[in-house]
Amino acid sequence: MKKITLLILSILILPLFPISAAAYGWGYEKNKDGSPPDVGFYGPLLEQHDGFYIDKSGDKEIYITFDNGYEEGYTGQILDILKEKRVPAAFFITGHYINSAPELVKRMNKEGHIIGNHSWHHPDFTSSSKSRIKEELDKVETAVAQLTDQKDMLYLRPPRGTFTAKSLELTRELGYINAFWSIAFVDWNTGQQKGWKYAYDSLMSQVHPGAVMLLHSVSEDNALALEKIIDDLRAQGYTFHSLDHLMMKKLLPRGGYWY
């Protein structure tokens, strides 16, 4: 699946500009008018290497993703809500998370969620060799395959959100699609949680069609706000889909390729 997808993407997308050594941290100015954020030249750079941060179709669809570096006791509650509401998600996990919370990893897979790669040790890929990056990703993929029925990994969330044109190229060569995001807020600081309403308002103010939403499951605020977020977005006409759905739309869109 991974190799076939990448082969098709390599045919469909032509290089836009030469590879640069510059290192970047994913970021953008947040829009609060219902439109997607402007990510500047990051967008074409990411697309050149088959990655994504948004569903550009304009459909009122949302993709929920979580980064899981360690466990604070809220992932089970989050999984309960996703199961009750029948919402798929992607969980990008590290080696520490696999070792410390194997039963939750198994549950993610059993309940139909995608498990993505967030590297084993969470290093900075912009200063890592290809062999180091490969080792980091292979360890996660192998460990997940030993724990669950998921025997392959397609999606990568670069550790720390840092990247270069070269790191995007190398991880693509290793069989991964880089998955960034178009909605996020500072939710990972467990010592500065501000209540479910803050999390709710922070996310809902940024909502736009095709959003890829980044959350951290260490946040109690996110766990408490998630059910209302799902219900209220559905009331606005949004539907929730997996990253596989987004990828299929990229490959087989209505009326042609939409990049």
Show pLDDT as tens, one digit a residue, over the chain (259 residues).
Answer: 554 444 333 333 333 333 345 899 998 988 889 999 999 999 999 999 999 999 999 999 999 999 999 999 999 999 999 999 999 999 999 999 999 999 999 999 999 999 999 999 999 999 999 999 999 999 999 999 999 999 999 999 999 999 999 999 999 999 999 999 999 999 999 999 999 999 999 999 999 999 999 999 999 999 999 999 999 999 999 999 999 999 999 887 554 433 3
Cα dihedral 232/114/49/29 (nearest 10):
30
CA atoms within 13 A on the CB side of 162: 13
Asked whether 61 and 241 are in contact (CB, 8 A), the reply is yes
> Per the residue annotation, which of 208, 216, 221, 241 is the catalytic one?
216
For domain 2-10+41-251, which CATH number applies: 3.40.50.300, 3.60.70.12, 3.30.70.2340, 3.20.20.370? 3.20.20.370
The Cα-based distances of 86 to 94, 228, 246, 253 in angstroms read: 25, 14, 17, 24
- Active-site residue, 216 included: yes
- Active-site residue, 245 included: no
Residues 6+ apart with CB under 8 A from 252: none
> Per the residue annotation, which of 67, 118, 187, 241 is the catalytic one?
67
Exposure string over 200-232, b if 16+ CB within 10 A, otherwise e: bebbbebbbbbbbbbbbbbbbbbbbbbbebbee
